[in-house]
Amino acid sequence: MKIALGFIVLIATLATIAHASDPSPLQDFCVAVNDSMAAVFVNGKICKNPNQVVAEDFFFPGLNKPGNTSNPLGSKVTLVNVNQLPGLNTLGISLARLDFAPYGLNPPHTHPRATEILVVIQGTLYVGFVTSNPADPNQKNELFTKYLYPGDVFVFPQGLIHFQFNVGHENSLAFAGLSSQNPGAITIANAVFGSDPPINPDVLTKAFQVEKNMIDYLQAQFWMNNN
């Protein structure tokens, strides 16, 4: 586990060198106040009185514990963002642990507010991202993929659809740093087919150029999040 912790330090160092997507802080820290205790809403979170800040505001335990991958996707993402670690408020960085069962998948998704840098600790991951729509309508969105092994690092640019798939016969483990205190996640299948209320099937039938019964089937499925 010492090696894994070393990679976490590496991720944090690289993320602080990069330009964060969140606004730069104007003071040493701005420990977040729980939303339920806030009287107003701001872009981020309200600062706790500095005189009441304690070491625990900058501390999160337990990232050494494997996530539960007993689900249809065979993966679990354990987030450490501003909602779990209030001391991250205004610092433009967060962290995630990614656990994969054999052939487990972190399905195609985007982070609307963050670039992600991922390092593999155990196992073999097939990862990739797809570019945004090209200016030339005759070109297709380009897919960049790579097989990653322990010690390998891969970057997923902000906002682009990406995925991670465990292609090995054993469990896989990775850690990811993200350039936002609250990067957000949009899982493509969940958002398109599992929204509440559902998107009008006529819209999806036209968009995907399939029969309506296929859209009805997909919207009837249970779409789960793995975080």
The CATH number of residue 74's host domain is: 2.60.120.10
Give the model's pLDDT for residue 147: 98
pLDDT band, residue 1 (cuts 50/70/90): low
Beta-carbon contacts of 42 under 8 Å, excluding residues fewer than 6 positions away, are none
Domain extent, residue 165, equals: 56-184
Give the model's pLDDT for residue 181: 93
- Residue with structure tokens 């570019």? 131
Domain count along the chain: 1
Give the model's pLDDT for residue 3: 58
Residue 120: inside a domain, yes or no? yes
The larger pLDDT score, comparing residue 181 to residue 27, is at: 181
- Provide the b/e sequence for 127-146 (b: ≥16 CB within 10 Å): bbbbeeeeeeeeeeeeeeee
Give the model's pLDDT for residue 227: 77
Residue 40: inside a domain, yes or no? no
Give the model's pLDDT for residue 14: 52
Asked whether the beta carbons of 153 and 119 are under 8 A apart, the reply is yes
What is the DSSP track for 121-147? EES-EEEEEEPPPPSSTTSPPPEEEEE
Residues of each annotated binding site for Mn(2+): 109, 111, 116, 162
Residue 12: inside a domain, yes or no? no
Residue 61: inside a domain, yes or no? yes
Residue 50: inside a domain, yes or no? no
Residue 69: inside a domain, yes or no? yes
Residues of each annotated binding site for oxalate: 106, 111, 116
Residue 220: inside a domain, yes or no? no
Q: Is the pLDDT of residue 40 over 90?
A: no
Mean pLDDT of 105-121: 97
Q: What is the pTM of this model?
A: 0.86
The larger pLDDT score, comparing residue 34 to residue 204, is at: 204
pLDDT band, residue 2 (cuts 50/70/90): low
Residues of each annotated binding site: 106, 109, 111, 116, 162
The larger pLDDT score, comparing residue 37 to residue 144, is at: 144
Q: Is the pLDDT of residue 17 over 50?
A: no
The chain-wide mean pLDDT, for the chain, equals 89
Asked whether the beta carbons of 47 and 89 are under 8 A apart, the reply is yes
Residue 87: inside a domain, yes or no? yes
Mean pLDDT of 94-117: 97
80 closest CA partner among 101, 99, 65, 95: 95
Give the model's pLDDT for residue 172: 98
Cα gap 87→127, rounded to integer Å? 31
Mean pLDDT of 83-90: 93
